[in-house]
A and B are shown apart, each in its own frame.
Chain A
Amino acid sequence: MKIYGEFEIVDNYPALYIEKINSVVITDIHLGLESLMAKTGLLMPKFQLKEIKEEIKEIINRKNPEKLIICGDIKHEFSRTSKGERKEIKEFIDYLKDLVEEIIIIKGNHDNYLIYETKKYEKVELKEQATLKDITFIHGHQKQLKVNSNQSKYIVIGHEHPALSLTDKIGIKEKVPCFLYGETNEEEQKIIVLPAFSKLAEGSQVNLE
């Protein structure tokens, strides 16, 4: 399926492929969530990184992009980068750098101190926002979210973790990650919200019923 004719949803994955910039976009990975939980007494086994690596590999194999864009929140802990996180981030980027030519990471609200990890890599760029052709990528946590429409026809954000909640009469409830797209207040400008790539993100329900 394609959104606005140019943004292809990579089948069964929370990822977009954009042909004109030959890039794959994903967002909200929240590495290190398990370690953080374990510290508070919720002894959750780690599995995210392994699965995420496998899935990204599959996506890259299918689309063969030049760039990978991550729209923010690679890591989970705000206040610092814990040892466990640092290890996971290193393992993650080490893995990615062999798969694509260039990695652009947009800084999310969880990504404080991430620069200390990314600066070690030539291929990796950490930015507040990035504009490629007429598309601007930002994380989306900033309150004043305004991108001039002369500059960008499209905005792609993460942060929101949109999901559809489906309930049936027998009491079975499921939340399914989803893409959102629509218009911004700027003239002729469209926005796409990506679902989280994290396996553990609780989706924000976007539907009423």
Chain B
Amino acid sequence: MGKEIPEVRSLVRTGDTSSYQRQKMLKKPPHILITTPETLGIILNAPKFREKLRDIKYVITDEIHSLCSNKRGVHLSLSLERLQKLCDEGGNEYNGQLTRIGLSATQAPIKEIAKYLVGYKNVAEKKPRKCKIVDVAASKQMNLEVKSPVQDLIHTPPKEVNESMYEEIDKLIKKHRTTLIFTNTRAATERVVKNLKEKDQNYYEGEIGAHHSSMSREKRLNVEENLKKGNLKVAVTSTSLELGIDIGYIDLVLQLSSPKGVARAIQRIGRSGHKLHDTAKGRIMVMERDDALECTEMVRCAENDELDRVRIPKNCLDVLAQQIVGMACNKKWRAKEAYITVKKSYNYIDLSKKDFVKTLEYVAGEHASLEDQHVYGKIWIDENEGGEKIFGKRGKMTRVIYMTNIGTIPDESAYKVHTRNKKFVGTLDEGFLDRLTKGDIFVHGGDTYQYRYTRGMKVYVDRAPNRKPTVPSWYSEMLPLSYDLGRKIGKLNSEIQRKLKENEDVKQWIRKKYPVNENTVTSIESYLKEQYQFVGKIPTDKEILIEKNRSRDGERLNLVFHTIYGRRVNDALCRIFAHILSKQITSNIGIVVDDHGFVLKTPIGIDVDKIIEEAIEGDMRQMLKESVRKTQLMKRRFRHVASRALMILRNYKGNKKSVGKQQMKSHFLLAACKRLGEDFPIIKETYREIMEDHMDIEHAEQIIKEIEEGKTTYNVIETDTPSPFAHNLVIQSQSDVMKLEDKKKRLKQLHKEVLAKIEA
């Protein structure tokens, strides 16, 4: 006689769950509740449902690596501490024994992520809660290869490179049952589908589907459904199929261009052979020499499970402010008790008392005059009989404000593009707009436009037929190269440089050590060899090459910094250097940044040593702050922070505010807040987010420190023709040659000049 298995109820609760379903849930709580960080923040404040949470025994965080690196994860971490507190306070049949479980296939550094998951038991001694790490990451075998479609990525006409690539893709698809293709941009996703259909109409019709975040939900679900059922031979996606969704049987993943990070490569390629012990099979197609180099090192790291480390944001004052409001809605707190609860979160263990108090005071509206505090304050602060500071909810509106404005994902929406005679052109996303300065030419929907100005959510442009674009259109979607991988590529460069010096067989070495096709071997070898022969120096992880390259007219200098540290570090370094330089000279400075280096366009006669000296001696964070203070980036990030900290309310008294209204008015707010000083939590957090999350000031500082200590060195060289490693950067800075064909043409020409010099 078997026992009957009791019914296990599992329910989903998100922002879309109807009030009827929520009522039902309350009457008969599920055994397993599946929810989002935002909804957890809400149910912690739901007076009745909250009581049910006291009995929770397990909390599982899936795909923890993708949460812990952003503010959603920060928010979750505080919610978990609030949940823990709820359980600790009693009424829990397990005596507060809440067990937290975190899952992900790609976690590094795993010990830090574990600490993030469990938080701290004792904040005074900084003692983390107990945690058991189960590391099974190496259990999946990887079968990887980097493929360059042609031997010579410089001289082969783009059309031919493209044809060879599609030839190769087509062949691979036909050899497998189901193929998943990843591209780096949404536009490329569409293009691949179109090109494959054109290549073999009969084969692909009805067998190929695109899947990306700009598509409607139905279309996406349709593709997912068909994939699961095995009805599709090929699915093409940008990032949307990277995580989570069960997509059935895939036996090959194709990645077009570099995925820019080891973890991402593993996540993507791991979508094939999704069962334990299956081998994941992935092919990475590269079309540029920088990409070839990058991906070669990347696949080696992927095979050896050398993941790039995620960075976990710390001391985010905006999320803290939001959670303090949530906490105050539930009960009266002693400030000290709240401070300890917050500090138990990994993200806030180092939160200073001063910042906590400042944030508390901000939430209480103490930046406003006494009589206005009923408008600005969401909590009150007082003292109890024991002289302890206490706080609680102020007013009836506070709970409503919290419940309707919760969350950390900023409203980013598309800007409408109009010509100045009011003709609608299309839409642009915010990130791209940040890159534009007045007068820039960009491509939109196949036509070229010149950027004029932005008013609210409207972008005004002029038609600029036949002008050459100055800003590549894919810029905003490009993921930055991870710092760790950048340094490893530098190491690979250094290794090859040594072999070139000693006349060893580089090709043979690459072949043996790296899973790459013969075309890739040839591209890499010739790329590094040319650089070496041309200037005798290849930039490495510990040797920065700085190239003073005179522009073609001879009047300006392209100061090329070969720093393979990824765009986040390079962006910080570049702005700091430009800031230093702008104090020395009155002339305009232009900048170009990418993953492999950056360029300062300056007048001739610049003393590089002096710039670096000032960076060593100066306060880099302060300099970076000053250089971003008046940028669009600052304005946009400020809006995000102010809205997370409930200073800009998206939903207020029945009004829903569009991003446009938020943006239009947030500059008033920024002007007002700047007067409150740089320690005002909203301003402080905006700078922190820009410097630490958007850019990577930590590693930028580390590199400058290494230079100071002599652990990293730099060499300054002068060139008439830019060295091969500088070509991509210099071309981006020569704004008159950005069209793809022109770019290729110019690359070819530069390459020819290099070869001529080497031979001479």
For A33, the closest partner residue in chain B by CB is B668
The residue in A33, A46, A199 that gathers the most chain B C-beta atoms within 10 A of its C-beta is: A46
Given A41, A167, A174, A200, which contacts B649 in the complex, CB threshold below 8 Å? A41
Asked whether A42 and B439 contact (CB < 8 A) given A170-B591, A171-B631, the answer is no
Given B368, B578, B627, B653, which contacts A41 in the complex, CB threshold below 8 Å? B653
Given B367, B627, B672, which contacts A170 in the complex, CB threshold below 8 Å? B627
Q: A110 to chain B: closest CB distance in Å? A: 16
**A200 and B631 contact, CB distance less than 8 A:** no
Residues in A whose Cβ lies below 8 Å from that of B646: 43
Residues in B whose Cβ lies below 8 Å from that of A35: 375
Complex-state Cα separation, A169 to B438, whole angstroms? 9
Given A33, A40, A170, which contacts B657 in the complex, CB threshold below 8 Å? A40
Residues in A whose Cβ lies below 8 Å from that of B177: none
For A87, the closest partner residue in chain B by CB is B371
Say yes or no for A37: interface residue by CB 8 A criterion.
Answer: yes
Q: B456 to chain A: closest CB distance in Å? A: 10
For B650, the closest partner residue in chain A by CB is A41
Residues in A whose Cβ lies below 8 Å from that of B649: 41-43
For B672, the closest partner residue in chain A by CB is A44
Residues in B whose Cβ lies below 8 Å from that of A170: 575, 578, 582, 589-591, 627, 631
Q: B647 to chain A: closest CB distance in Å? A: 5
**A174 and B630 contact, CB distance less than 8 A:** yes
Residues in A whose Cβ lies below 8 Å from that of B661: 40
**B590 and A43 contact, CB distance less than 8 A:** no
Say yes or no for B384: interface residue by CB 8 A criterion.
Answer: no
**B630 and A202 contact, CB distance less than 8 A:** no
Q: B654 to chain A: closest CB distance in Å? A: 10
**A41 and B633 contact, CB distance less than 8 A:** no
Say yes or no for B453: interface residue by CB 8 A criterion.
Answer: yes
Complex-state Cα separation, A171 to B669, whole angstroms? 21
Render A156-177 as a binary contact track against B, CB cut-off 8 A, 1 for contact.
Answer: 0000000001011111111000
**A43 and B375 contact, CB distance less than 8 A:** yes
Say yes or no for B66: interface residue by CB 8 A criterion.
Answer: no
Residues in A whose Cβ lies below 8 Å from that of B350: none
Asked whether A173 and B368 contact (CB < 8 A) given A33-B668, A34-B672, A199-B671, the answer is no
**B671 and A45 contact, CB distance less than 8 A:** no
Residues in B whose Cβ lies below 8 Å from that of A40: 652, 655, 657, 661, 665
Say yes or no for A47: interface residue by CB 8 A criterion.
Answer: yes
Render A183-202 as a binary contact track against B, CB cut-off 8 A, 1 for contact.
Answer: 00000000000000001101
Say yes or no for A38: interface residue by CB 8 A criterion.
Answer: yes
Residues in A whose Cβ lies below 8 Å from that of B651: 41
Say yes or no for A205: interface residue by CB 8 A criterion.
Answer: yes
Say yes or no for B673: interface residue by CB 8 A criterion.
Answer: yes
Residues in B whose Cβ lies below 8 Å from that of A165: 453
Render B564-583 as a binary contact track against A, CB cut-off 8 A, 1 for contact.
Answer: 00000000000100100010
**A169 and B588 contact, CB distance less than 8 A:** yes
**A200 and B672 contact, CB distance less than 8 A:** yes
Say yes or no for B333: interface residue by CB 8 A criterion.
Answer: no
Residues in B whose Cβ lies below 8 Å from that of A11: none
**B437 and A44 contact, CB distance less than 8 A:** no
Render A19-31 as a binary contact track against B, CB cut-off 8 A, 1 for contact.
Answer: 0000000000000
Q: A123 to chain B: closest CB distance in Å? A: 27
Given A43, A171, A174, which contacts B633 in the complex, CB threshold below 8 Å? A171
Q: B637 to chain A: closest CB distance in Å? A: 13
Complex-state Cα separation, A47 to B677, whole angstroms? 13
Say yes or no for B666: interface residue by CB 8 A criterion.
Answer: yes
Q: A83 to chain B: closest CB distance in Å? A: 11
Residues in A whose Cβ lies below 8 Å from that of B652: 40-41
Say yes or no for B606: interface residue by CB 8 A criterion.
Answer: no
**A45 and B376 contact, CB distance less than 8 A:** yes
**B669 and A44 contact, CB distance less than 8 A:** yes
For A201, the closest partner residue in chain B by CB is B668
Q: List 5 A-B contacts (CB under 8 A).
A: A35-B375, A41-B650, A167-B438, A200-B671, A209-B439
Q: A-contacting residues of B (Cβ < 8 Å)?
A: 367-369, 372, 375-376, 434, 437-439, 453, 575, 578, 582, 588-591, 601, 627, 630-633, 646-653, 655, 657, 661-662, 665-669, 671-673, 675-676
Q: B-contacting residues of A (Cβ < 8 Å)?
A: 33-35, 37-38, 40-47, 51, 165, 167-174, 199-200, 202, 205, 209
Please give 11 more A-B residue pairs, beta carbons under 8 A apart, in addition to A41-B657, A170-B631.
Answer: A35-B375, A40-B665, A41-B649, A41-B652, A43-B375, A43-B376, A43-B647, A165-B453, A170-B589, A171-B437, A202-B668
